[in-house]
Chains A and B, each alone.
Chain A
Amino acid sequence: MTIGHSSESPAATGLSPSRSGARPARTRKPLSDNAYGYLFLAPWLVGLLVFLAGPTLVSLYLSFTDFNLLQPPKWVGAQNYITLFSRDPRYLQALRVTFTYVFTAAPLNLLFALLLALLLNTRIRGISLYRAVYYVPSLLGGSVAIAILWQQIFGLDGVVSQILGFFGVHGSSWVSSPKQALWTLVILHVWQFGSAMIIFLAGLKQIPAELYEAATIDGAGKVHRFWFITLPMLTPVIFFNLVLQIINSFQAFTPAFIISGGKGGPLDSTLFYTLYVYIQGFTNFRMGYASAMGWILLIIIGVFTALAFLSSKYWVHYDDAR
């Protein structure tokens, strides 16, 4: 798919020195939108061609082979794809775990991020400090400390067990129980809402202050301003965060990797999709099989992203809408 149009990229690069070197002259006919488009896109197109397209196409090819990383791949047709759905209960488990995670962790994360962004967009004392503090969990992301800490909070004598015990719920060790381990990872993801929050904050900052001023002069109240200015103006950023959450939570890897010690346990209860891709590809040396899984994930994410884009026509407000 990239081959067909790759010829446009060198052409665009070729234009670059001659045109941009010359002084813009009004008499000269301006470049067409097409030329400008590909000119601006040139670095990305080169990057796509050199660094991304090859590995992507190779992984597609590998998904139809038996490839152990060390010997030449052997073509097996659709066998990997058939095995995945017919003979691999762990794969189905990985799908279950991942979908549960995506549909809980992603919306909760967005909700918290938005609420905190709104809260931290007020001008109160120490706002910079608060922002930094609320971003800290996201900084700790893949650190070993998280794994140990999560045990301390959700483990046998952990804070959560103690609090629940106080209310008469005598529970167990959440983080290491097959029934609850996944929920502790959902909580971990919600807790690390910092990145989405920053993007929301940036979005809030981009809303022109004049809009609020005008509305205030017109006598609009707080709630009114929120519904009719803040929220609509923020929709492109909400949309962005939504798409990113879909993509990132389907690909969640690090939390399960560090907290389950890389195995997705106990009893595969935290076997995230990409963790299983990693286990098959690198631990079990089945890169062909892992690639097939990767491409199915691409399709799954692609469908959900497409749905988000289709829906965006109805609720996302762009200033450049014509």
Chain B
Amino acid sequence: MATSTRTVRVFPFSQLLTHLVLIVGAFCMLYPLLWMIGSSFKPDSEIFTELSPIPRSLDLTNYIRGWVLGSGTSFATFYINSFVVCAGAIIGNLLSCSLAAYAFARIRFKLRGLWFAVMLGTLMLPFHVTVVPQYIIFNALGWTNTFLPLVVPKFFAVDAFFIFLMVQFIRGIPIELEQAAMVDGCNRFQIFTKIILPLLGPALVTTTIFTFIWTYNDFFSQLLYLSTEKHYTVSLGLRLFLDASGQSAWGPMFAMTTLSLVPVILVFAFFQRRLVEGIATTGLKG
């Protein structure tokens, strides 16, 4: 129990206390999830009338009804589509944002301040006022009803959020490493690939996790650009069950929503391990 660590020495009692606090907190965090899982086993006639999270039986009907839609398309298609879009977005963001971030963080070039302000500025305009002109561009390129509008821009670092994130992390890397490499004759690209990228681990992992989750959960842009069912992603698939003006299938919606959390939790669990390892094991020469 008393696993002492390198960094913080923890006594068993305080560790117990930490566990206690964390467990109480965890319950508050998890309650909604439990409620949703519970609802996914209930028939529609009980979901809104009986609010206890515990279902009467583990009835899998909702899962079976939800997985294959009336059209014959199954959620398997939506999962594949979501993964394709997410993979594209992740690769795009990792490549393009890290390049831009390195420039902003380390290279003194003309108008750097201006471009940095412009980059942050792109985060500040509400999405809804630029979405129509953006749609017109993608429509003119013939990209509507393809994954391209959701992926290609990521290869051009349109998610300024991640550039800024990486800038902050790169600025936390001791500059002496770079100066030493320069003395050894490395050019900027070599420094970037051999020093910065390996040390940027935590930021790259964070970028991966966030890009995956945000792309996976994104609704409005996928709704706009994907029009036919074979292109639909999970987040669009989930909305196929709900119609505010008529018939809705709540049970299957909750079942598929529950299921849709599995990949997100897996991705998070897998990558957060990398977060633990991070720089601590990389070793630094001061």
* Chain B hits for A202, CB < 8 A: 169, 202-203, 205-206, 275, 278
**B272 in contact with A298 (CB, 8 Å):** no
User: Per-position contact with A for B249-280: 1 when CB-CB < 8 Å, else 0?
Assistant: 00001100100010011001100110110111
Q: Which residues of A contact B109 (CB under 8 A)?
A: 33-34, 36-38, 41
Which residues on the B side are within 8 Å of A244 (C-beta)?
161, 164
Of all chain A residues, the one with the shortest Cβ separation from B254 is A145
**Would A56 and B125 be within 8 Å (CB), given that A134-B25, A240-B165 are in contact?**
yes
A3 located at the interface, meaning its Cβ lies under 8 Å from any Cβ of chain B in the complex = no
Contact with A along B156-200 (1 / 0, CB 8 A): 111001011100110111110000000001011110100000000
Q: Does B107 contact A (CB under 8 A)?
A: yes
- A129 to B203 CA separation, bound complex (whole angstroms): 21
CA–CA, A39 and B192, complex, Å = 13
B58 within 8 A of A: no
Contact of A59 among B125, B158, B185 (CB under 8 A): B125
Q: By the criterion CB–CB under 8 Å, are A52 and B122 in contact?
A: yes
Which stretch from A102-110, A164-172, A277-285 is at the chain B interface? A277-285
Are B8 and A33 closer than 8 Å at their CB atoms? no
- Within residues 1 to 22 of chain B, which ones have a CB less than 8 A from any CB in chain A? 1, 3, 5-8, 10, 15, 18-19, 21-22
Q: How far is the CB of B285 from chain A (nearest CB, A)?
A: 9
A208 CB within 8 Å of chain B? yes
Given contacts A131-B272, A318-B172, contact A34 B153 (CB under 8 A): no
B193–chain A nearest beta-carbon distance, Å? 11
Report the minimal beta-carbon distance from A133 to chain B, rounded to whole angstroms: 5
Stretch at the interface among B68-76, B80-88, B209-217: B209-217
Q: Which residues of B contact A122 (CB under 8 A)?
A: 5, 8, 10, 18
Q: Is the CB of B118 within 8 A of A205?
A: no
Tell which of B134, B187, B254, B284 touches A55, judged by Cβ atoms closer than 8 Å: B134
Q: A123-B8, A210-B284 are in contact. Are A43 and B156 (CB under 8 A)?
A: yes
Contact across chains for B51 and A56 when beta carbons are under 8 A apart? no
* Chain B residues with CB under 8 A of A298: 121, 124-125
Complex interface bits, A41-63 against B, C-beta within 8 A gives 1, otherwise 0: 11111111011101110110011
Instruction: With CB as the reference atom, state the residue of chain B lying closest to A5.
Output: B111
A99 within 8 A of B: no
Q: Does B99 contact A (CB under 8 A)?
A: yes
> Quick check: is A143 within 8 A (CB to CB) of the other chain?
yes
Q: Are A199 and B206 in contact (CB under 8 A)?
A: yes
Contact B35–A145 (Cβ < 8 Å) = yes
Chain A residues 102-124 with CB under 8 Å of chain B are: 116, 119-120, 122-124
A228 lies within 8 A of chain B by Cβ: no
Complex interface bits, B71-113 against A, C-beta within 8 A gives 1, otherwise 0: 0000000000000000000000001100110111111111110
Asked if B54 lies at the interface with its beta carbon under 8 angstroms from chain A, I say: no
- Complex interface: chain A residues within 8 A of B165 (CB): 199, 240
Q: Which residues of B contact A293 (CB under 8 A)?
A: 126, 129
CB distance from A310 to the nearest CB of B (A): 13
Kindly specify which of A81-89, A177-185, A231-239, A263-271 makes contact with the partner chain.
A231-239
Residues on the B chain within 8 Å of A141, using CB: 217
Q: Closest residue of chain B to A297, judged by CB?
A: B126
Contacts of B32 in A (CB 8 A): 136-137, 140, 145-146, 149
Measured between alpha carbons, how far is A282 from B276 in the docked complex, in Å? 44
Interface pairs A-B: 4 shortest CB-CB? A37-B109, A47-B156, A205-B278, A294-B129
Q: List 19 A-B contacts (CB under 8 A).
A: A37-B103, A37-B107, A37-B108, A37-B110, A40-B100, A51-B158, A124-B15, A128-B273, A130-B22, A132-B272, A142-B217, A145-B39, A149-B32, A198-B275, A206-B169, A206-B173, A240-B168, A297-B126, A322-B175
Binding site for B on A (CB under 8 A): 1-2, 5, 20, 24, 26, 30-31, 33-34, 36-48, 50-52, 54-56, 58-59, 62-63, 69, 116, 119-120, 122-125, 127-128, 130-146, 148-149, 152, 191, 195, 198-199, 201-203, 205-210, 212-213, 222, 233, 236-237, 239-240, 243-244, 247, 251, 253, 273-274, 277-278, 281-282, 287, 290-291, 293-295, 297-298, 301-302, 305, 318-320, 322
